[in-house]
């Protein structure tokens, strides 16, 4: 193993400190006994139990999860279709324009996306609430799914689709029997990404929300304006836990599959040689 120089150690400590110190503080203070956020008064989990009695927070969490599940699923379907169109029909007219337009929301300031969606919903007379938030989330997470799925499709051996057609499968059957199973991991990670983005979106939700549809980030934000409470720390810690768990599970699954594949390939070569 290489020896670590002082400089390297210093940069690692600084970098990770910069990233994680605030989060670590938040997690620590979520277990604080005291009601004062910045004064440590002993370990306690009372704020977590108290969460279960805060109906407002629970409602917001439920709204967030419903919006996340629904919008991530719709965005995954639409984003996958967009990625397919972009990769497969590379010869159609206006492809460059189309791909630019699919990716525009990636770099578009959220305030502008939110505002324009709000204007649209007002113009067509859609009552703002759960459905408008969901629609807005579909809109802005779709392009992330498209990017993830597209990068998988670029390395996809198209001759396996041709082989399926050649063996008598219609294009629709080919898609469901061959293409989708092969790109499924990318589609799944696109879904996870969309869900995560939807989960912690504040700006676009604020623009497109209506009465009775308050998401968790909005709830937290509005409560923080009245002062940070240990309760907020607790719910944030839970959110961090969920996201971290998702990321860890996803990476373990991918890693294990890779390792298994490598082992199989080595075994095959050894057996044939």
Write the DSSP symbol of residue 174.
H
Q: Based on CB atoms, which residue is closest to another protein, 107 or 172?
A: 172
CA distance 13 to 16: 5
Q: Which pair of structure tokens corresponds to residue 268?
A: 């095959």
* Binding residue for another protein, selected from 11, 49, 170, 254, defined by CB under 8 A: 170
Rounded to the nearest whole angstrom, what is the least distance from the CB of residue 168 to another protein in the complex?
4
Is 168 a binding residue for another protein by CB under 8 A? The answer is yes
Count Cβ atoms below 10 Å from residue 233 Cβ, excluding itself. 21
Q: Which is nearer to another protein, 56 or 181 (CB)?
A: 181
**Which span (57-65, 114-122, 178-186, 244-252) binds another protein, by CB under 8 A?**
178-186
Closest CA to 187 of 218, 145, 131: 145
**Judged by CB under 8 A, does residue 186 bind another protein?**
no
Distance CA 153, CA 163 (A): 17
Q: Does 38 bind another protein (CB under 8 A)?
A: no
Q: Is residue 172 at the binding interface for another protein, with CB under 8 A as the rule?
A: no
Q: How many CA atoms lie within 13 A of 129 on its CB side?
A: 5
Binding residue for another protein, selected from 10, 160, 244, 245, defined by CB under 8 A: 160
**Region of residue 129 (phi > 0: left; psi between -120 and 50: alpha; otherwise: beta):** left
Cα gap 79→85, rounded to integer Å: 10
Distance, CA of 200 to CA of 215 (rounded, Å): 9
Stretch that binds another protein, among 4-12, 18-26, 95-103, 158-166 (CB under 8 A): 158-166
Integer Cα distance of 201 and 140 in angstroms:
10
In the complex, the smallest distance separating the C-beta of residue 145 from another protein, rounded to whole angstroms, is: 21
When the beta carbons of 126 and 182 are compared against another protein, the nearer one is 182
Choices 73-81, 206-214, 231-239, 263-271 (CB under 8 A): range interacting with another protein: 263-271
Query: Where does this chain bind another protein (CB under 8 A)?
Result: 157, 159-160, 162-171, 173, 177-178, 181-182, 261, 264-265, 267-269, 271-273
């Amino acid at each position: 193993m290489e020896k670590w120089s002082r400089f390297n150690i210093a940069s690692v400590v600084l970098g990770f400190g910069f990233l994680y110190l605030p989060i670590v503080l938040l997690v620590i203070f979520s277990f604080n006994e005291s009601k004062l956020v910045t004064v440590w008064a002993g370990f306690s989990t009372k704020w977590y139990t108290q969460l279960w009695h805060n109906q407002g927070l629970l409602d917001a969490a439920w709204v967030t999860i419903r919006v996340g599940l629904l919008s991530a699923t719709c965005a995954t379907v639409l984003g996958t279709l967009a990625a397919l169109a972009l990769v497969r029909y590379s010869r159609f007219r206006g492809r460059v324009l189309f791909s630019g337009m699919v990716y525009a929301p990636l770099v578009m300031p959220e305030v502008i996306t939110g505002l324009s969606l709000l204007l649209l919903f007002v113009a067509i007379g859609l009552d703002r609430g759960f459905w408008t938030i969901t629609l807005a989330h579909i809109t802005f997470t779709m392009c992330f799914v498209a990017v993830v799925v597209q990068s998988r499709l670029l390395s996809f051996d198209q001759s396996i689709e041709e082989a399926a057609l050649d063996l008598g499968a219609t294009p629709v059957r080919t898609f469901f029997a061959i293409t989708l199973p092969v790109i499924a991991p990318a589609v799944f990670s696109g879904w996870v990404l969309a869900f995560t983005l939807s989960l912690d979106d504040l700006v676009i939700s604020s623009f497109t929300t209506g009465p009775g549809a308050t998401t968790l980030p909005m709830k937290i934000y509005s409560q923080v304006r009245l002062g940070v409470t240990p309760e907020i720390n607790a719910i944030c810690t839970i959110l961090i836990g969920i996201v971290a768990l998702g990321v860890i599970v996803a990476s373990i699954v991918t890693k294990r599959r890779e390792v298994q594949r490598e082992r199989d390939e080595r075994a095959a070569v050894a057996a044939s040689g």
